[in-house]
Amino acid sequence: MSEVAVIEKPDFQALVVHRVVGTFSLARVMKPAYCMVMEKMQAAGLTCPEGLAPFTRYNGIDWREMEKRGFGAMLRMMFAKKWDMDIGVPVDRKTEVQGEVFSLECRPGKCVRTLHVGPYAKVAEAYTRILKMARDQGLELADHSYELYLNDPCEVQSSELKTEILVPLA
């Protein structure tokens, strides 16, 4: 189990694709979205800065509702929910792009952070740790989260996947 801590998230620029999809469509949607972003990055001569990673920003999260429902209900809801998300890659500079890929500025600020090691399907355990810390310390969470994918599911076993989770403070 990974430590949960409040950290300062740096600002960064990213290229992203916006999608709204159900949990069971995530895998089918994410790979093509990352490919679109990478093509735009290559065409614009952009790179991903050292220390940053491809990510998904989940938007419109109601943490109070999730916590009120309890862990089991939260898991069920996560599988039924339509996720409003930005799928992207940090880039070394701001750039203008056209089409489905757009530029996103991720502002700096304090976040609750933890690391999930294991299959993506079990990432809810990490969010439960974040919710517990926020409740215990009286922290108010913003309505979005970031999942940074620190290694590639094509290169490691699912048990070795590393996902850094950041939830900004409101």
CATH number of residue 69's parent domain: 3.20.80.10
What amino acid occupies position 25?
Answer: S
Go through the chain and tell me how many residues it has: 170
Q: pTM of the entire structure?
A: 0.89
Q: Assess contact for 106 and 28: CB atoms under 8 A.
A: no
Domain span including residue 22 = 5-168
Count of domains forming the chain? 1
* Residue 43: predicted pLDDT: 92
Residues of the chain falling short of pLDDT 50: none
In the DSSP assignment, the letter for residue 3 is -
* Residue 76: predicted pLDDT: 61
Q: What tens digit of pLDDT does each residue of 30-68 get?
A: 999 999 999 999 999 999 999 899 999 999 988 877 767
| Nearest-angstrom CA–CA distance, 95 and 163 | 27
* Residue 74: predicted pLDDT: 60
| Nearest-angstrom CA–CA distance, 35 and 15 | 11
